[in-house]
Amino acid sequence: MNDPEYTHQARWDEPLITELINTGKRCYIPKRFQYDKDIAIPDNLLRKTELRLPEVSELELVRHVVRLSQMNYGVDLGPVPLGSCTMKYNPKVNETLVRYPEFSMQHPLQPEETVQGTLKAMYLLGEALKSLTGFTGITLQPAAGAHGEFTGVLLIRAYHMLNGETKRDEMLIPDSAHGTNPASSVMAGFKAIEIPSDEKGRIDLEALESALSERTAGMMITNPNTLGIFESNIMDINKKIHDAGGLVYLDGANFNGIMGVAKPADMGFDVMHINLHKTFATPHGGGGPGSGVVLVNDKLKQFLPTPIISYDKEKDKYYFDYNISHSIGHVHGYHGNIAVILRALAYIARMGGEGLREACLTAVTNANYLMHKVMHEDGLELPQDPSIPRKHEFVVSASPLLRETGVSALDIAKRLLDYKLHAPTIYFPLIVHEALMIEPTETEPLSILNEMADAIKNILKEAKENPELLHEAPHTVAGYRLDEATLAKHPILSAKMLEKIKPQWEL
């Protein structure tokens, strides 16, 4: 096991780059262009205020970023078992492939004949994802999962509008859903109606039935849900919603739990998004860019954003297809996060259909294995029936530990950082108190799963012996706990604000 006394991150006293101004130094010097005539912009439109950007040499800038990188943690350093985030390993070759100038240098307004390779890649990704999900239409525009949700519920809205069903303004959402679901629904003009879960962590069928009405536009379901539990009644649920005149949206955040094993379209879903930065191994980038492509069945194809990518077999030509009868238009300025789409295609090409299924089987094995290693530990409890197999993730509650020792899920998460591990998702889903939501993914080796289990067990022991140690954790990484309360009250969000406020602490 990792020694929690060891230092696991560098601690550099790295100044803000914004402090390094007025030095006269240069780093990147733009290519010159000799043209002796004057600029042709009137004086009142020219910059008057001094532009206070840093002045550093190339070496100084490189050191600055390398040092800061040493104060950051990612999958390349250790596991990031965040539930519902699917932090897989990001294959290195993909990073090289997307940087080919033939891909990276193309402007989105270029004529189709100059970008046939990129269009083919976009088309192939679409076809592969259709095969995996059973859907018949796809848009690649959404730049993130939540953007995909928004797009998907806009499609549902367009469907009801076309059918003259303008009163359908309610979107049903289980209480275990990601926060993006209700937020996306509201942005698409719906009221978010919360549906409780039953004691098994699944959608409460009675509650669902009583919520369905002529105002139901649809339901957003995460399946497997955020407890890692598959909604076994899904066909029944989807039928009930359809019978009430609604459509069903699948939040594909957890697609890794069923990929290659079952197709969402076969379960009766009408539309789903897929987070390419989760299931298809593209990097998360410290928060983005991701991609939230949206797949639909025949009911919704005619509403997809324009253009889609089509293939003319006769001319062997890939093209932007604007021929969508009731398109909602655009949700992105261009065609989506192409460099992410290329990485996802590269991943799929390497795995093949067979490999993707194996990835799912392994991810689910890893999650259930780790769950069995920790669920009986004193201090933790499994909030739902242990006989239900989990899918790619599981949730345990640290409520017993909190009652007994005052050590919270937050403290466990922070202490895990001292063990050279990343914390799981905590306090989510909201229906579980002191939740620890753990998703190891299929790319983590057995040795790491065992390390995680050992670390959790050790922390539970530490909680009883020395709770103070945990309240103050982490101790061995670049940062200590931060004064978040003062910051929220008096935010300092830029160097400019910092200069005005001049805090008393050490910069």
Partner 1 sequence: MALEKPYYSLLGVSPQERKKMLEEIGVSDVMELFSDIPPKVILKESPTLPFDPMTELELVEFFNELANKNVNPNDLTVFLGGGVRQIYVPALIDELIRRGELYTAYTAYQPEVSQGILQLLFEYQSLVAELTGMEVVNASMYDWSTATAEAALTAIRITKKDTLVVASPLTKARKSVIHNYLEPQGFKVREVSLEENSPLVDLEKLKAAIDDNTAAVYLEMPNAMGYLDPRAKEISELAHDVKAKFIVGVDPLSLGLVAPPGEYGADLVVGEGQPLGNAVNFGGPLLGIFAFNYDRKEIRRTPGRLIGITKQLKSGKKGFTITLQAREQHIKRAKATSNICSNEALSAVISAIYLSALGPRGMEELSTGLHKRALFLREKLAETGKVEIMYPEIPFFADFAVKFPVENHEKFISTMVSKGFVPGAPWDYNNELYVLGVSELHDKQHIEAFANTLKEVL
- The interface with partner 1 within residues 407-466 (CB under 8 A) comprises 413-414, 417, 422-423, 428, 441-446, 448
Residue 66 in the binding site for partner 1 (CB under 8 A): yes
Distance between CA atoms of 299 and 482, rounded to whole angstroms? 50
The smaller minimum CB distance to partner 1, of residues 236 and 404, is found at 236
Query: Which one of residues 2, 55, 311, 467 is an interface residue with partner 1 (CB under 8 A)?
Result: 55
Q: Which residue has the tokens 């100084």?
A: 60
Which of the stretches 209-217, 398-406, 457-465, 483-491 binds partner 1 when contact is defined by CB under 8 A?
483-491
The smaller minimum CB distance to partner 1, of residues 403 and 487, is found at 487
Q: How far is the CB of 245 from partner 1 (least distance, A)?
A: 19
The smaller minimum CB distance to partner 1, of residues 6 and 403, is found at 6
Q: How far is the CB of 298 from partner 1 (least distance, A)?
A: 18
Contact status, residue 292 vs residue 144, Cβ threshold 8 Å: yes
| Residue ranges in 284-303 that form contacts with partner 1 under rule CB under 8 A | 284-290, 292
The smaller minimum CB distance to partner 1, of residues 204 and 404, is found at 204
Residue 313 in the binding site for partner 1 (CB under 8 A): no
Distance between CA atoms of 263 and 241, rounded to whole angstroms? 19
Residue 26 in the binding site for partner 1 (CB under 8 A): yes
Provide the sign of the torsion angle of the four alpha carbons 446, 452, 457, 461, taken in this order.
Answer: positive
Q: How far is the CB of 495 from partner 1 (least distance, A)?
A: 4
Q: For residue 254, give the nearest of 62, 425, 506 by alpha carbon.
A: 425
Query: Which one of residues 4, 83, 87, 227 is an interface residue with partner 1 (CB under 8 A)?
Result: 87
Q: How far is the CB of 430 from partner 1 (least distance, A)?
A: 9
Contact status, residue 27 vs residue 61, Cβ threshold 8 Å: yes
Q: How far is the CB of 237 from partner 1 (least distance, A)?
A: 11
Distance between CA atoms of 247 and 238, rounded to whole angstroms? 8
Strands (E), 125-169: 137-139
Query: Which one of residues 1, 2, 7, 72 is an interface residue with partner 1 (CB under 8 A)?
Result: 72
| Residue ranges in 351-410 that form contacts with partner 1 under rule CB under 8 A | 351-359, 361-362, 364-366, 368-369, 372, 388-391
Which of the stretches 242-250, 282-290, 295-303, 376-384 binds partner 1 when contact is defined by CB under 8 A?
282-290
Give 32's contacts (C-beta < 8 A, 6+ positions apart). Answer: none
**Three-state DSSP class for 218?**
strand
Contact status, residue 277 vs residue 80, Cβ threshold 8 Å: no
Question: Residue 100 is which amino acid?
Answer: Y
Q: How far is the CB of 80 from partner 1 (least distance, A)?
A: 5
The smaller minimum CB distance to partner 1, of residues 299 and 357, is found at 357
Contact status, residue 340 vs residue 363, Cβ threshold 8 Å: no
Distance between CA atoms of 185 and 191, rounded to whole angstroms? 7
Distance between CA atoms of 258 and 262, rounded to whole angstroms? 6
Q: Which residue has the tokens 């005619």?
A: 302
Q: How far is the CB of 401 from partner 1 (least distance, A)?
A: 19
| DSSP β-bridge partners for residue 174 | 195
**b/e code 123-133 from CB counts within 10 Å (16+ = b):** bbbbebbbebb
Query: Which one of residues 1, 213, 239, 491 is an interface residue with partner 1 (CB under 8 A)?
Result: 491
Residue 468 in the binding site for partner 1 (CB under 8 A): no
Which of the stretches 74-82, 204-212, 294-302, 396-404 binds partner 1 when contact is defined by CB under 8 A?
74-82
Residue 242 in the binding site for partner 1 (CB under 8 A): no
| Residue ranges in 247-266 that form contacts with partner 1 under rule CB under 8 A | 258, 260-263, 266
| Residue ranges in 143-202 that form contacts with partner 1 under rule CB under 8 A | 143-147, 149-150, 154, 157, 178-180, 182-189, 192
In this structure, how many other beta carbons lie within 10 angstroms of the beta carbon of residue 459?
26
The backbone torsions φ and ψ at residue 139, rounded to the nearest 5 degrees and listed phi first, read -120, 140
User: Count of residues binding partner 1 (CB under 8 A)?
Assistant: 211
Output DSSP code: residue 179: T
Distance between CA atoms of 277 and 88, rounded to whole angstroms? 9
Query: Which one of residues 5, 29, 166, 206 is an interface residue with partner 1 (CB under 8 A)?
Result: 29
Q: How far is the CB of 93 from partner 1 (least distance, A)?
A: 5
Q: For residue 370, give the nearest of 452, 279, 257 by alpha carbon.
A: 452
| Residue ranges in 89-128 that form contacts with partner 1 under rule CB under 8 A | 89-91, 93, 95, 97-111, 113-118, 120-121, 124, 127-128
